[in-house]
Amino acid sequence: MEPRREPSTGTPARELAPAGLATAAGYAAEGAPSYARAFQVVVNVEVEPRATVPRRAPEASARADRLWLEHARAAAVIDEEGCFLVRGADQDWVRVRLTARTALSAALPPNGGGMIIAMSPDGRRLCALTEEDEDYWIVVHDFHAHRASPADG
């Protein structure tokens, strides 16, 4: 019998408040990679972005938000209820829901170098919005597609 899991009752990390996400009832993925593991995937020197937006381009943050949403949906990071996992204030992951005012770029620090990692509710895929040098990067990763990698251990 599978052990009973308690619904996620945490809140997103404080720095995510400007992103306009709503905390959602439900379960965080049991056995999902830790936030630290997801962070390592995104900051890996070999990572290649799925898409980029020059930060100095007109409406760059809005374009980055649209691209992140497009890639997160295409990679099945966002479920049918508009929910996904983000870094929690008191735990690795907390379940959140998109709202009409969701803009992940609003939670990035003004001086650059920030990132927001969204994990699929099943803990298999991520889609991150990062700031790298002069660009916003959209990074997508499927943990199951990369199982053979020694770095996944």
* DSSP string over 1-44: -PPP-PPP---B-GGGGGG--EE--S-PPTTPPPHHHHHHHHH-
User: How much is the pTM?
Assistant: 0.86
Residue 58 in any domain: the answer is yes
Beta bridge partner(s), residue 131: 136
User: Which of 9-18, 84-93, 98-107, 140-149 shows the highest mean pLDDT?
Assistant: 98-107
- What does the radius of gyration of the chain's CA atoms come to, in whole angstroms? 15
d(CA 64, CA 55): 9
Residues of the chain with pLDDT > 90, as a percent, come to: 67
Task: Flag whether 12 is in a domain.
Answer: no
Whole-angstrom distance, CA of residue 121 vs CA of residue 81: 11
Number of domains in the chain: 1
Structural domain boundaries, residue 73: 19-143
- Quick check: is 63 in a domain? yes
- Say if 151 falls within a structural domain: no
Instruction: Report yes or no on 120 lying in a domain.
Output: yes
The answer to the question of residue 126 being in a domain is yes
The predicted pLDDT at position 111 comes to: 79
In a domain, 10, yes or no: no
* 60, burial (CB in 10 Å: exposed 0-12, middle 13-18, buried 19+): middle
pLDDT in tens, 93-121: 999 999 999 999 999 988 778 999 999 99
Task: Tell me the one-letter amino acid at 101.
Answer: R
- Quick check: is 153 in a domain? no
